[in-house]
Chains A and B, each alone.
Chain A
Amino acid sequence: MAIRKRKPNGSAPILEVRNLTTYFYTEDGVVKAVDGVDFFVRHGEVLGLVGESGCGKSITSLSILRLIDRPGEIVAGEVVFEGDDLLKKPMADMVDIRGDRISMIFQQPKSSLNPVFTIGDQIVEVFEIHEQADKEAAWEKAVGLLRLVGIADPESKAHTYPHQLSGGQAQRVMIAMAMALQPELLIADEPTTALDVTIQAQILDLIRELNEATGTAVILITHDLGLIAEMADRVAVMYAGRIVEEVEVETLFKQALHPYTQGLIDSIPVLGAVKERLNTIPGGVPNLIDLPPGCRFAPRCRAREEYGLSICTEVEPSLAEAKPGHKVRCWLYEDHSGHDAPLKPREAKARKKDRP
């Protein structure tokens, strides 16, 4: 399997998502699953997309590939991939891009494979879809890919059915399929959540190696900050359908700015530290149908109380650069003089006292 090394294209973004907005029109109301998301991915980089369950990470990735089905709809935004807005492309072009230039791997590797076909057939299908490959050559390539992703005895494994594979093997097969045509961008949606820890490490190593060898950019979606620390170059933190912080990975762990990110990092258990309980962020993710006005994190935010900011519950902050290369969506770092004046410390204290 020859590996094509992509030309490092400086730091130019390969994918730029601007104001991506995906709503689900349910009977209970409009679920704002993704509500104005902005981020970008550079050539060859690994971008981590972190957030709690239900914050819109997966919907963001499905929106990039335009795989949103009724009742969901991409309402607004741009997904600029190599200069073209994918949301403006005809569906037929989009189908060609999927799997060829952007591909995706999913959370449940075993259920992501079709149970009635051998894995060899399923990899061959990728070639059938995108190139007029002759069957035997495609089969050879499939076996080569299985070897590349570290499947032992690929010649005979190609003849097996998905139920004969372990979860780790199935995820390797999924990666083989996703990497078959050497896409420019790979979206990995919680690729290791369903796997046990040792297999997790192997799969992550594999993704990292492929990223380094082929220069394929990766969007790694996860709720696991440990995984981000290991894998990502840059991180975007999502909360309730919005990006709240975006920065290089080292900075995130050294100096997270957004109270939500700080809370996430604090809640990672530290080996050896004896604690009665793990740190948690109080409260839960807001209802995406009926979002609070102002900052979406405000109801759970400790910093807001500590600093006594009243504007948080009224006006939503914007995603702005607090420091060079470090974007955050929080009034602590944004000039709010144009809006309400913040509470004076004394008033804030008084308010705290009133609380039972």
Chain B
Amino acid sequence: MTSIPEAAALPAASLRSNSLLRLTLRRLTRQRNARVGLTILISLILVAAFAPLIAPYEPNRDLIGIEPVTQRQKPCIHLLGCPADQPQHIMGIDANYRDVFSRVVYGTRVSLMVGFTTIGMAILVGTLLGAVAGYAGGWADNVIMRFMDVLLAFPGFLLAIAIITVLGRGLQNALYAIAIVNIPHFARVVRASVLSIKEQEFVAATRALGASDTRILFLRILPNALPPLIVQGTLGIAGAILEAAALSFLGIGAQPPTPEWGTMLGTERNQVFTAPHLVFFPGIAIMITVLAFNLLGDGLRDAMDPRLAQVSKPR
């Protein structure tokens, strides 16, 4: 059997696994926008992880009687000429005598948690529904996708409000609402991928080897459907964070005293002109976080779609 000669072996260097993950990372880090997004995101994650070390105060600590602070006091930064005998509050003090900087730092935890858990739930359910719809076809496809269409027929935010109306206000219910609103997007993306992948020859080959339908769908087809799902997921996190902030702003998401950026904006929205720092800093935090996910998502899309990558980077 070993008598059969084989064409020249590949050089050993190229043999070491060139997995899609590694390839994607390399393409991703070549793009400046994606690098910026990734850097911001990593910083945000670090901030969230080490919030107790970064924040000078407990987020809900009432500083009245502890320090000489006034209500909605302007930021006091020693480097920028704030007298050294005053305690430093780089983002100022809010209406309840709390340090805004500490609250913004802890807010990172809430927002990232919101983004990842909602999209996580949406991806889980959406992928399952979309994969089954795409692979089974026929009536299952029709039932699932028409239900998704019904969900999509409502403006997403209105639907979220409606769901919260049913479930009751609060951060946890806001999470469910945002997750449900996002499910159809993921179901569609996954269904489309599965539809095209299931026609590929390797699926027939795997079936001919005796693999069961469940195995083929979940272990063989879905890994191939990951790239668009990852892109959609990253962009979806940005949207979810924004939606959660908006719901909290309206007072039906995170409830005070939770240090949530949208809630902080909402409670102080009437003080925009008298105490702009109370609105400005949480707003900037939301913007930076959403921007980071969007930059990263766009970068991932370019990195994972070889056609786009070639267009954007002529050699």
Q: Do A and B bind each other?
A: yes
Chain A residues close to B by CB (< 8 Å)? 1, 62, 65, 67, 70, 95-100, 103-104, 106-108, 111-118, 125-126, 129-130, 147-153, 156-157, 159-161, 164, 166, 168-169, 172, 174, 177-178, 199, 202, 205-206, 209, 213
Q: CA of A352 to CA of B120 in the docked complex: distance in angstroms?
A: 77
Q: Does B202 contact A (CB under 8 A)?
A: yes
B196-241 with Cβ < 8 A to chain A: 200-202, 204-212, 215, 220, 223-224, 226
**Nearest CB in chain B: distance from A242 CB, A:** 24
Rounded to whole Å, the gap between the CB of A151 and the closest CB of chain B is 6
The reply to whether the CB of B274 lies closer than 8 angstroms to some CB of chain A is no
Q: How many angstroms between the C-alpha atoms of A95 and B211 in the bound complex?
A: 7
Q: How far is the CA of A335 from the CA of B200 in the complex (A)?
A: 47
What is the 8 Å Cβ interface bit string for chain B, positions 8-36, against chain A (1 contact, 0 not)?
Answer: 01101011111110000000000000000
Q: A157-B15, A169-B7 are in contact. Are A147 and B202 (CB under 8 A)?
A: no
- Known: A106-B201, A148-B1, A152-B9. Is A114-B209 also a contact (CB below 8 A)? no
Does B2 lie at the interface of the complex (its beta carbon under 8 Å from any beta carbon of A)? yes
User: 29 A-B residue contacts at CB 8 Å?
Assistant: A1-B1, A70-B138, A95-B212, A96-B210, A97-B210, A98-B208, A98-B210, A99-B210, A99-B211, A103-B208, A103-B209, A107-B201, A108-B201, A111-B202, A114-B220, A116-B223, A125-B209, A129-B215, A130-B210, A147-B1, A148-B2, A149-B4, A152-B6, A157-B15, A161-B18, A164-B14, A164-B18, A166-B7, A177-B209
Report the bound CA distance from A174 to B208 in whole Å: 11
Q: Which residue of A67, A117, A151 is within 8 Å of B204 (Cβ)?
A: A67
Residues of A with C-beta under 8 A to B15: 153, 156-157, 159-160, 164
- Min CB gap A19→B, angstroms: 23
Contacting residues, chain A, for B155 (C-beta < 8 A):
none
In the complex, the answer to whether A104 meets B208 with C-beta atoms within 8 Å is: yes
Task: Beyond A116-B20, A209-B1, list 9 extra A-B contacts (CB 8 Å).
Answer: A95-B210, A113-B202, A126-B210, A150-B6, A153-B9, A161-B18, A177-B209, A178-B209, A206-B4
The yes or no answer to B5 lying at the interface (CB within 8 A) is yes
**How far, in whole Å, are A147 and B4 apart by their CA atoms in the complex?**
10
Are A150 and B1 in contact (CB-based, < 8 A)?
Answer: yes
Map CB proximity to A onto B164-197 as digits: 1 under 8 Å, 0 otherwise. Answer: 0000000000000000000000000000000000
Contact B14 A129 (CB under 8 A): no
Output the least CB separation between A289 and chain B (Å). 22
A112 near B210 with CB under 8 A, answer no
- Which residues of the partner chain B approach A152 to less than 8 Å between Cβ atoms? 6, 9
B210 surroundings in chain A (CB, below 8 A): 95-100, 126, 129-130
Of all chain B residues, which has the CB nearest A158? B15
